[in-house]
Structure 1
């Protein structure tokens, strides 16, 4: 899998920009990263246990902590910081962003939650 060459956190727009050594570049909104956190708190221990995270339209990232040479821990301003985002997972989130985001919006609608529309 490709390895990130650059991580840029844009605090005002709440977007993490990630560039990889294969030329791929993704702009990942903080909300998207938060609702797809790889933590057990969000993902559970199986797909059936995954939790729908709501109300994170305004979430930001306070800081980014390296985890070895393979991942980062994102510290969100809502105090969530237990997800370890491996390079592979960040790449997957970028490559599948459109379909994952639509799935999230569909799940919100099915559960009766209203998403504050933003440009994601």
Structure 2
């Protein structure tokens, strides 16, 4: 199940997003709007939910959330963006990484 998260997620939402992969959740994070979509098998599926909700692709970055350790992973195919100077699956810009981490922690952390 993919959820569009605009407010801190409930424990039930976290559990349902974990159903697909078990130990972590694939995410797409809109750093402009401060929201994310999580769950499903592919970051691209989450990205599609954000795009459908009005997000701009330029601001959407792929990440993973590991609830047990409260850690964020920054690798995703949707992050390969030569036009934005990101030529890797990993988010290379430290400012963008920090924005992603803050949004994920705000919306998913602390449960």
Relative contact order, higher structure (CA 8 A, sep 6+)? 2
> What is the TM-score with the length of structure 1 in the denominator?
0.28
> What is the TM-score with the length of structure 2 in the denominator?
0.30
